[in-house]
Chain A
């Protein structure tokens, strides 16, 4: 049955003597293989060599501190409501007298958890944050895990170290984008 006249007619001819010997074909194939021995290898030997990140890479989250080392997050809940995967939960608390050096606003996140199994690293939390507190780091990946408890990141692992600042949100000072 002919469906259209675009189909190709196959003509099966008997093989010639050169083709039947197979040796030239084997030599040509080996030639290709040997050529690759001298080429530059595309494999990146991961733990020793690390691939360069894209400038817009979205990695592990970080909760930033401001210039004075106070936590920026005020537990406003906008990241959690923006999150399409519902990965973020938080409990807020009121700042007490004497804690002004720890938290920037009168309300702060007492508990802040991100479930990395749910997170899809879309970066909407970063967009939603009015206080420039949460960032997806451009140079840190979310590490592998061995148990489910490890995947829920609390404040102990999210808030940046006051001495060793995270490499994110540097174009902002106290939540306001620096004009260039």
Chain B
């Protein structure tokens, strides 16, 4: 076990875990954002630089600071490490720059994009970005591609996080898509118009942090925040069958896997569950899905279906009645 100090909070984590995992153990607003790291996928992380943190002391044995900001998702912890995230000006300033870099080629088509409302990049830019952009050059553009009957690829929106590549590698036995070319010319593709028809291929839609890979059966059907998420399950021979149904009225518009607080899929689901079972009679309803109160999806939800943010809880729990017997309070009362 190693004990590290993250943003002034001590936390004990197993050896070989990363700084990001330690931060997630604390939870709340100190957790660095992650655009490419995806806990269920092995080898992911280290690409988007969104999770950069400052290590002010490397370890108890060697307390020198690390010279540069490090990516917290791939840097292992060491006993006695001191890490700064939200407390460090340099980190916050760098993160603004990272947003600007990620948005260089990302089109501003959120009004059209089906991911809007549950998009990691939208949240990241909203929390850490600046309003204006300085980039004046032509953006790289690609045509939309249909990969398979269910998935649409908008290469314009891709931020090259490699999550979908890892998903295909680790969930399926034969990957047919990958990243072609290098540097600024990199693109996700199947090289020769190939279609992805593996039984678990639909999961690339869920892991995509932006709207680059979208569900064709949900395409332009409705905005995410007008649909109501409901937990449901069914006996599926190929997957766990635990999903979220997104309702509009009585219709199931979309089926997705269940995601945790960091937008990571808990259990991957198969294409049959995702694309073919779109009737309420196919499912056993477990109850409404809890949605973060700060999310736009919590619009028109009942209060008990929303998750109240952590800071509100700490404020209400930390509230104490004013003790009038204390001398300083008596003085205050006398003044008023």
Contacts and interface: CB of A to CB of B under 8 A. Distances in A.
Interface of A: 74-78, 80-81, 92-94, 105-107, 130-131
A93 B111 contact: no
Interface in B82-129: 109-112, 116
Contacts of B116: 76
B112 A81 contact: no
A130 B112 contact: no
Contact of B111 (A80, A94, A131): A131
- The interface centre, meaning the residue of B110, B223, B296 with most chain A CB atoms within 10 A of its CB, is B223
10 contacts: A75-B220, A76-B111, A76-B223, A81-B223, A92-B221, A92-B222, A93-B220, A94-B220, A105-B109, A105-B112
A81 B225 contact: yes
Most B CB contacts (10 A, CB to CB) among A77, A93, A94, A106 go to A77
Secondary structure call for the B interface: loop
Given A77-B225, A77-B226, A81-B299, A105 B111 contact: yes
B175 interface: no
Nearest to B225: A81
B296 A94 contact: no
Contacts of A93: 220
Contacts of B219: 94
Q: Which 7 A-B pairs have the closest CB atoms?
A: A76-B111, A77-B223, A107-B112, A92-B220, A74-B111, A107-B220, A130-B111
A158 B225 CA distance: 24
A72 B274 CA distance: 33
Nearest to A130: B111
Contacts of A78: 111
Interface string B193-208: 0000000000000000
A78 B223 CA distance: 9
Interface residues of B, number: 14
Nearest to B108: A130
B143 to A, nearest CB: 12
A76 B108 CA distance: 13
A80 to B, nearest CB: 7
Contacts of B299: 81
Given A76-B223, A81-B299, A107-B112, 18 more contacts: A74-B111, A74-B112, A76-B110, A77-B222, A77-B223, A77-B226, A78-B111, A80-B226, A81-B223, A81-B225, A92-B220, A92-B221, A92-B222, A94-B220, A106-B112, A107-B111, A130-B110, A130-B111
Interface in B253-311: 296, 299
B248 to A, nearest CB: 10
Contacts of B226: 77, 80-81
A76 B221 CA distance: 11
Interface string B5-42: 00000000000000000000000000000000000000
A120 B219 CA distance: 32
Contacts of B225: 77, 81
Nearest to B224: A77
B333 to A, nearest CB: 30
Nearest to A110: B220
A75 B223 CA distance: 9
Nearest to A77: B223
Nearest to B299: A81
Nearest to A105: B112
A154 to B, nearest CB: 19
Nearest to B296: A81
Nearest to A76: B111
Nearest to B219: A94
A130 B110 CA distance: 9
Contacts of A81: 223, 225-226, 296, 299
Contacts of A106: 112
Interface string B304-327: 000000000000000000000000
A136 B43 CA distance: 53
A93 B110 CA distance: 16
B304 to A, nearest CB: 21
B124 to A, nearest CB: 19
Nearest to A74: B111
Nearest to A131: B111
Interface string B110-154: 111000100000000000000000000000000000000000000
Contacts of A92: 220-222
Interface in B217-241: 219-223, 225-226
Nearest to B223: A77
Contacts of A77: 222-223, 225-226
A160 to B, nearest CB: 19
B31 to A, nearest CB: 27
A142 to B, nearest CB: 25
Contacts of B112: 74, 76, 105-107
